Amino acid sequence: LRQLSVISEDERGLVGVVHPSAGGGWILSLDAADLGDRALLEETIVHELSHVVTLAPDVFAFGDEPCDGVAIALGCARTGSVLAEFAATFGPDGEAGPTHDHVNDYSASAAHEDLAETFTALVLGWAPAGETIDAKIAMLQADPELAALMVELRTRLGLGD
């Protein structure tokens, strides 16, 4: 992360968001109204950090240019990336499947949000059981970068192994 930004009164109702910085790296923006809710803040940071990994420039291209991987609403998940595999396996935007195949309603909104919410549920330990959710979790655990991030976050949050 390059910068932390505190925002207020976001008209979209966002608790947090990450976006690429013009100078490289990422900007994490958090809504000041939610900073007092530790559980919500932890959940938001875990979610947004998964985006930092899965939407990094070496594995994802923002925009609507021709895609040599898997096209999702935000752009192109490059071939070989965990997001490309996730979207190809579990459905791209708008085709995410029944709600029972997701950890929550928001995760059904788009492939990158499904991945981020599934990762968050895995890290924080609130993922419901189910064949599809279990398969998603196994895919995320098999990705070396996400697996390392999961261990790091669980350790820093005092959640153990």
70 membership: H or E segment, kind and range? strand 70-72
Residue-level pLDDT at 11: 67
Q: CA angle 106-43-82, nearest 5°?
A: 65
Among 77, 75, 54, 79, CA closest to 64: 75
Residue 96 pLDDT greater than 60, yes or no: no
Residue-level pLDDT at 93: 62
Whether this prediction's pTM lies above 0.75 is answered by yes
Residue-level pLDDT at 51: 93
Instruction: Write down the mean pLDDT value for the chain.
Output: 87
Alpha carbon distance 92, 80 (integer Å):
16
Q: What is the CA radius of gyration of the chain?
A: 15
Question: Is pLDDT larger for residue 101 or for residue 95?
Answer: 101
- CA 94, distance to chain mean position in Å, is 17
Listed range (58-62, 71-75, 100-104) with the worst mean pLDDT? 100-104
Tokens 């895919």 belong to which residue? Answer: 139
Residue 12 pLDDT greater than 80, yes or no: no
Residues 6+ apart with CB under 8 A from 75: 60, 61, 62, 63, 64, 65, 67
Name the H helices within the chain: 38-54, 82-90, 111-124, 131-142, 144-156
Residue-level pLDDT at 36: 86
**What burial letters (b/e) apply to 6-23, b meaning 16+ CB within 10 Å?**
eeeeeeeeebbbbebeee
